[in-house]
Structure 1
Amino acid sequence: MARRLVVIGGNAAGMSAASQARRRRSRDDLEIVVFERGHFTSYSSCGIPYWVGDLVDGPDRLVARTPETFRDEYAMDVRLCHEVVAIDLAHRHVVARHTAGGEPVRERFDDLVYAPGARPVRPDWAGGGPEGVFGVQTLDDAAALMAWLDAGPAPRRAVVVGAGYIGVEMAEALVRRGLAVTIVERGPQPMATVDPDMGSLVREAIRAMGIEVRTGVTVTGLKDSDGRVSAVVTDTGEFPADVVVLGLGVRPDADLARAAGLPVGRTGGVVTDLRMRVADGVWAAGDCVETVHRVSGQPVYVPLGTHANKQGRVAGINIGGGYATFPGVVGTAVTKVCELEVGRTGLLELDATAAGYEFVTAVVRSTSRAGYYPGAAEMTIKLIAERGTGLLLGAQIVGRSEAAKRIDVLATALWNRMTVDEMTALDLGYAPPYAPVWDPVLVAARKAAVAVERADYRS
């Protein structure tokens, strides 16, 4: 009898795992059943703001592989609109139910991939209230938002709750659609994924787009008119709204795993080993798992499509009889707010302090190209280095025109545990259209190396 692989979740991690397993084992040797609670497989959640902002068509353009492709070319039994509601490890089966109702079905498994992703944070005040309140975690969420925006009467005012990556990207998308937008954020700054001094640069750019930014504000409820949202109520007053978008982040969708007795870590994510194995014949990958930060050595939760695809690939290789490991993350991420680019990798100052490091910082302002070349734009780079050793601990970039992708150089240096002094000798490419003679990365490394020297001298 062929072995049976059951996959919970048909997006990046789950389908990467299933595809890799199929490449290594034939349809006669391995049956694959995939349960996906939505209407799509293998799609880019990160592309949703660009669909909403009319920069790309959707949703088809955001789908990498359709369910039909997986069924026809990969011989997978893909069941859309099916949510797994129980895992029975003792009897090696799952229980699933169609989202429209009906009798539950049981499917046995020899191997199980747990990859349901993440659940958006949705406060009590956002549940069961007026129409016009949307999360943007899935393509189904985005389709519902687009239908609301395109239906009459056309919304004129939007409130985005939360100023993280998705919040600021959705704010820009709604501005592009002609709405007046207000961002409300409970914390002291937008984009808490960078240090406050860098976050202040993001705030200035958001305001320059005409978006009102209100920080230190806690949402307490909603007001409605004829069943449609009309205002967001906060501890500092009310903000009129015809549509509300939630950008409050996500949490690991680990409830089903926890109920089955699988280990869940302090971040709330499922705990795996290096091969993405949770238990005998049980694997997990993607936005539902926690991983290890390679700089701090601590467990972290970093839900990104890049990690999900890599983790799913690792799980699938191992299921298929190969060998692969996932070595952890350094927390690299980039985003764009209008023309402003933001990148970060490694530890923030707060993270470095929590991990027990003593450190120095260096902040430099430079240009993306030679100053005389058309289009040269300013960027700010911040490096955090360990006192004494000069080991790079983290980096952030805020700027325009080719700023954010320079974070990849810094992420590579971080991954390979380089010191800022070693980084000053990096052989980076130079031509006036692409960089000054002294690339901003090199200037920042040199300033950080000096800061390390001075800290040692003072001690």
Structure 2
Amino acid sequence: MKVAVIGCTHAGTAAIVNTAQLYPEAEITVYERNDNISFLSCGIALYVGGVVKDPQGLFYSSPEKLAELGVKTNMRHEVVLVDTKNKTLRARDLNTGKEFDDAYDKLIVTTGSWPIVPKLEGIDLDNILLSKNYNHSNTIIEKSRHAKHIAVVGAGYIGIELVEAFQLNGKKVTLIDAEPRILSKYLDPEFTNPIEQSLKDHGIELALGEKVSSFKGEGGKVTTVVTDKGEYQADLVILCIGFRPNTELLKGQVDMLDNGAIIVDNYMHTSAPDVFAAGDSCAIHYNPTGKKAYIPLATNAVRMGTLVARNLVNNTIPYMGTQGTSGIKIYEDNIAGTGMTEAAAKHEGIDAEAVMITDNYRPEFMPTFEEVQLKVVFERGTRRILGAQIMSKMDLTQSINTISVCIQNGMTVDQLAFIDFFFQPHYNKPWNFLNTAGLQALPKLAESKQPVRV
């Protein structure tokens, strides 16, 4: 069996390693256009901020490790053409420019995503950077050493982590986003409001609800970010606007979402025979809505990549879908979320309710008892849990993984009230705060006049 793999990051590495282990007789050839593989891009801010001293720890595989499994890895090779009908591809050696053809029995497409780069005046000025791969991280570190005022465009996870890292490195920082709130895809205002205040308290300038319109410069280098509401001085700009799937190779050959994300079935098959896809190049099954969605996360990627290998020959293990569970630490606050925010549920047209609690995570007779904020979003009619968000100075983020399982299994907010959690004063109260959220939702039952599903 001849297996060709295009791209070798999270999903690609998982697919390759598992395929090699499950099918040792397979001839596996990898095409990767970068000069490194398996870089954990989620660690860029930690590397930039100096938390991670040795960047080699951010790589979890290498061509040498794959070679030990019998895998041939073609580094600095870009696939320029795929013919899914004839099961062939054409690759270009980026070092020599030479092109050659190859054939496959099974094709695994793990081409990932690439940052969105807006077509704006001045976008080609020097010191306007992206934040995606290892080379980007090294450039950011080198350029930021000499920068005095850094502007980060985009208030998602990457943008927020970078502004914190830059501020801790003693830089003046401006955070710009077209949305009126930071992290608006992940958290509701009850959580973003205090985080924004925390950023301001640390001296970070927020320019929210402002759309970047152009960049100004002198001597070929950026000096100013211009928005529809003002201008901001910056001698270094990092673009963190979002990502698009890298799927031009298969355009017109497989089914895709409007944004180009490849649609796969529960077994990671695309609509083309013997062509599989996984990771940031794909749409996923989003359990809260039951629809296909584009949610590029490393956790989704490694699961999907592993399932590609498991289902390469026969359909054995179906994908369970995802809740888009994620977390972030911003200064002293530990934050996590899963599923839909209340705003997202209403935008989707779902008749949603939410319960918000603020409690101490363990008994007040203990020496310390940090406060925890928890919000659980649920559908009014069915009482089905749609999502949850948590924030505390104490790291209680693992509780969101529990809610993720609840959503995965279609549980109701009423069931959450009575789930069996252990009690020990070092860790929690007799009523775990997850139970408490469910209990506080119970009085709303009389209003909705819906029977409790048990």
Per the TM superposition, whether the score is higher than 0.5 is yes
Contact conserved, 1:361 with 1:382, CA < 8 A, in 2?
yes
The runs of 5 or more residues in structure 2 that have no matched partner are: none
Deviation at 1:126?
7.7
The answer for the alignment partner of 2:65 in structure 1 is: 69
Contact conserved, 1:191 with 1:202, CA < 8 A, in 2?
no
Which of 158, 162, 177 is matched with 1:166 structurally? 158
Which of 12, 30, 34 is matched with 1:34 structurally? 30
The answer for the alignment partner of 2:407 in structure 1 is: 414
Equivalent position SS for 2:279: coil
The letter of the residue matching 1:280 is P
Partners of 1:209 and 1:68 in 2: how far apart? 44
Partners of 1:409 and 1:224 in 2: how far apart? 49
Equivalent position SS for 2:281: coil
Partners of 1:100 and 1:355 in 2: how far apart? 47
Contact conserved, 2:122 with 2:214, CA < 8 A, in 1?
no
Partners of 1:174 and 1:188 in 2: how far apart? 22
Residue identity over aligned pairs, in percent, reads: 29
Q: Residues 450 and 101 (structure 1 numbering): CA distance in 2 closer, same or farther, change over 3 Å? A: farther
Partners of 1:42 and 1:320 in 2: how far apart? 25
The letter of the residue matching 1:87 is V
Partners of 2:257 and 2:368 in 1: how far apart? 47
Deviation at 1:267?
4.9
Q: Residues 413 and 236 (structure 1 numbering): CA distance in 2 closer, same or farther, change over 3 Å? A: same
The answer for the alignment partner of 1:132 in structure 2 is: 127
Deviation at 1:369?
3.2
The answer for the alignment partner of 2:176 in structure 1 is: 184
Deviation at 1:16?
1.0
The letter of the residue matching 2:12 is G
Which of 132, 149, 158 is matched with 1:157 structurally? 149
| Structural mapping, 1:196-215, within 5 Å | 196-215=189-208
What does the per-residue CA deviation read over 1:92-144, in whole Å, with 9 as the maximum and x for residues that have no partner? 22112233451222221111100110111111128752211111111121122
What does the per-residue CA deviation read over 1:51-83, in whole Å, with 9 as the maximum and x for residues that have no partner? 111001242010011221111x11111112222
Contact conserved, 1:267 with 1:300, CA < 8 A, in 2?
no
The answer for the alignment partner of 2:219 in structure 1 is: 226
The answer for the alignment partner of 1:349 in structure 2 is: 342
The answer for the alignment partner of 1:107 in structure 2 is: 102
What does the per-residue CA deviation read over 1:137-164, in whole Å, with 9 as the maximum and x for residues that have no partner? 11121122122234xxx11111110111
Partners of 1:369 and 1:51 in 2: how far apart? 34
Partners of 2:214 and 2:94 in 1: how far apart? 29
What does the per-residue CA deviation read over 1:214-250, in whole Å, with 9 as the maximum and x for residues that have no partner? 1111111112222222121111221111211111111
Contact conserved, 1:360 with 1:451, CA < 8 A, in 2?
no
The answer for the alignment partner of 1:449 in structure 2 is: 442
The answer for the alignment partner of 2:395 in structure 1 is: 402
| Structural mapping, 1:46-445, within 5 Å | 46-71=42-67, 73-100=68-95, 102-125=97-120, 129-150=124-145, 154-192=146-184, 193-259=186-252, 261-278=253-270, 279-319=272-312, 323-445=316-438
Equivalent position SS for 1:277: coil
Q: Residues 439 and 126 (structure 1 numbering): CA distance in 2 closer, same or farther, change over 3 Å? A: farther
The runs of 5 or more residues in structure 1 that have no matched partner are: none
**Residue 7 (str. 1) matches residue 5 (str. 2):** yes
Partners of 2:373 and 2:121 in 1: how far apart? 37
The letter of the residue matching 1:194 is L
Contact conserved, 2:122 with 2:217, CA < 8 A, in 1?
no
C-alpha RMSD of matched pairs (Å) = 1.9
Contact conserved, 1:158 with 1:181, CA < 8 A, in 2?
yes
Partners of 2:366 and 2:259 in 1: how far apart? 47
Equivalent position SS for 1:7: strand
Deviation at 1:289?
0.4
Deviates more, 1:421-430 or 1:49-58: 421-430
Deviation at 1:333?
1.1
Equivalent position SS for 2:141: helix
Contact conserved, 1:182 with 1:212, CA < 8 A, in 2?
yes
The letter of the residue matching 2:445 is V
Deviates more, 1:306-315 or 1:325-334: 325-334
Contact conserved, 2:267 with 2:315, CA < 8 A, in 1?
no
Q: Residues 433 and 212 (structure 1 numbering): CA distance in 2 closer, same or farther, change over 3 Å? A: farther
Partners of 2:372 and 2:96 in 1: how far apart? 53
Superposition TM-score, scaled by structure 1 size: 0.93
Partners of 2:356 and 2:60 in 1: how far apart? 39
Q: Residues 231 and 101 (structure 1 numbering): CA distance in 2 closer, same or farther, change over 3 Å? A: farther
Partners of 1:322 and 1:68 in 2: how far apart? 30
Equivalent position SS for 2:410: coil
Partners of 1:451 and 1:127 in 2: how far apart? 54
